[in-house]
Amino acid sequence: MHGTHVAVVGSSFVSNHAMFASANAIYEFTHKSRYSAQARVLRSLGLKFTQRPDGSIALRQEELDAHTLSKAAVASKAKRQWRMDLSHLNGNG
């Protein structure tokens, strides 16, 4: 089990890999490869994270999901706009 850490929560086991966003996910999200640049992007977006002693980022997957899902919801809501029915102005009604 090299590289796999397991935390005990209550009576169930939760893998750290499921709790934290992967380094690749953080890179894909920020488009930055340096840890300091990733931290700057995450901080500017108001995301809560921890910077490890080696500089790498520990970002909870639920924090990333909440941010991306809320942004998707806002974008979706913005696309759903009421439109007035002006068909009667064309003389068809």
Helix (H, G, I), strand (E, B) or coil at 92: coil
Mean pLDDT of 75-93: 64
The CA angle 80-45-9, to the nearest 5 degrees, is: 100
Q: How far is residue 7 from each of residues 12, 13, 30, 45, 58, measured CA to CA in Å?
A: 9, 6, 27, 28, 15
Q: Which of the residue ranges 19-23, 44-48, 67-71 would you say has the lowest mean pLDDT?
A: 67-71
Which backbone phi and psi does 3 adopt, to 5 degrees? Answer: 85, 0
Q: What is the pLDDT of residue 9?
A: 46
In sequence order, the 6+-apart residues with CB closer than 8 A to the CB of 63 are 21, 47, 48, 49
- 33-63 per-position pLDDT tens digit: 999 999 999 999 999 999 999 999 999 999 9
Q: Domain residue spans in the chain?
A: 22-81
Backbone Cα Rg of the chain: 21
